[in-house]
Each structure stands twice: as C-alpha cells, then as structure tokens.
Structure 1
Amino acid sequence: MLIELEADLLARPPAETAGWIGEIEGIDLTLTFLRSRRDENQRRAHRAAVDLGVPTVRRTKDDH
C-alpha cells in the first residue's frame, strides 16, 4: 500500500507549476515518511523470527 501511495503522489501534476508552496512541502514530507516506513517494513521482513517457546505453569511447593 505504501508503494501505491508513493506512486500516486509522484504522479500528481507538479505543485510548483501552480505555485502551491505549502503543497510542495506537504508532498515532500509525506514522501519522506512513506519511504521511511517502506524501508522499515523491508528491514523487518528480512529479520528471522524468534522462537519464544510455549509458556509453562510454574508450581510452587505450596501448590498441591
């Protein structure tokens, strides 16, 4: 989904030609955030899973 959002933002007509300075900054910030999230998701996808095991119930000497 992040890839589609990035492509959509890049496909929009340049805000510079319309003189929308605030829009340019907003689009740049959004693209930076999307790329950061995409990179983070790719790093997480390459991590190996950690086996935490199956929890067990500990019994104390007072348990009967």
Structure 2
Amino acid sequence: MLILDPKMLPRLDELEQDLVERRKRAVAEGWQGEIEGIDLTLTFLRGKRAQAQRFQRSGTVDLGLPHQRPPRHVSRS
C-alpha cells in the first residue's frame, strides 16, 4: 500500500485538474473507454487525497514501549 506524504496534496490537486480537463475532452470526442479509465483514476486519486488528509490531521501517535505481561496463574482443581 502506498502511503502518501501530505506535502504532496498540492500536486494531487494539479493532477486532478488535469484529469478533469482530459475527461472533458474525452466526453467531447466520445472516447468511452478513456472516460471510464479517467473516472477510475480520479476515484483512486481522491481516495489517496482523503487518506493523506487524515494522516496530516492525525499526525503521529506515541504508542509507548512494549512490555511483557506477567504470566497468568491457572488454578488446577
């Protein structure tokens, strides 16, 4: 899975605008296969943008250091 750096968000905006323009041309030319491909790419691009924005807002989380649990004593009756 590709993790996107939040610094790349402006580049994603540029890519989306380019794809939207290409889609308009594909619609005007009647290129149905191209339209479907662009729509699929736009869906993935928008998903990656949302993922990067969530990561940007959440930042890092300190999980602390792992530790061993004490052994459980099982009573035998």
Distance 1:14 1:34 in 2: 19
The correspondence for 2:40, drawn from 9, 16, 29, is: 29
Matched residue pairs, number? 54
What do residues 1-45 of structure 1 show as CA deviations (whole Å, max 9, x unaligned)?
111100111123431221111000001001000000000000011
1:10 matched to 2:17? The reply is no
Distance 1:37 1:49 in 2: 18
Q: CA RMSD in A?
A: 1.8
TM-score by length of 2: 0.60
In structure 1, runs of 5+ residues without a counterpart are 55-64
* Mapping 1:48-59, distance limit 5 Å: 48-51=59-62
More helix by share: 2
The percent identity for this pair of structures is 57
